[in-house]
Amino acid sequence: MGSLIQDRTQTAATEAIGGERGDLLQTLRQHRGFLRYAAKGLTDEQARTRSTVSALTVGGLIKHVSNCEAGWALFMEGGAGLMATGLPSEEEWANDFTMTEGETLEGLLAAYEAVAAKTDGLIATLDLDVAYPLPEAPWFEQGASWSVRRVVLHILAETTQHAGHADIVREAIDGQKTMG
C-alpha cells in the first residue's frame, strides 16, 4: 500500500513538470512500473526462479536494471569518470543478473526505488543538452559523446526491454501478465 501512495505522490510531482522533462519522467515511471508489476506478489524463491531456458529471473532483472540506472545516473552527473566510481567489482559484475541468496526481492525493490528517485531528480534538474564522452568500451563508438537526454532515453530503453523479459519470466512462473 505504501508503494502505491508513493507512486501517486511521485506521479503528481512528475505531472507538475511539463514539456519534454515531464514526458521523459512519466514514460520512464510507467515502464519502471511494468518491471515492478512483474514482481508483484512473488516470494524470494519465485523471484530467483529460472522459468524459461534463459538464465533470467525477475529478481535478477530488477537488480540489473537498478544497477544500470545507478551507473548512468552517475554519468549524467559527471561523465565517464564519475560513472567509473560506481562500477561494480568483478564478483558484483558476474552476479549482475543474479538474485543471490543474501538478497531479498523487497531489498532489491527498495534499492530500485532509491535509484529511481535519484534519477528522477536528475532528469528534473539537469541540462538535457550537456554531453560527456562515453566510457571506453568495445560496445561504444570510439570517441562518441552522449547528452543527458540520450542517457535518459537509454535508461528508458533498457528498462522497457527488461520489463518485457521480466513479464515473460513471470508469466512462465504463474501465468500473471503485465498486460493482456
Listed in sequence order, the residues at least 6 apart from 41 whose beta carbon sits closer than 8 Å to its beta carbon are 176
Q: Count how many domains the chain has.
A: 1
d(C-alpha 123, C-alpha 7), whole Å: 17
Residue 179 domain flag: no
Q: Give residue 43's domain range.
A: 2-174
Q: How far is CA 78 from the centre of its chain?
A: 19
pTM: 0.89
pLDDT at 90: 84
Residue 135 domain flag: yes
What's the CATH code of the domain at 16? Answer: 1.20.120.450
pLDDT tens-digit series, residues 101-142? 999 999 999 999 999 999 999 999 999 999 999 998 888 899
Residue 180 domain flag: no
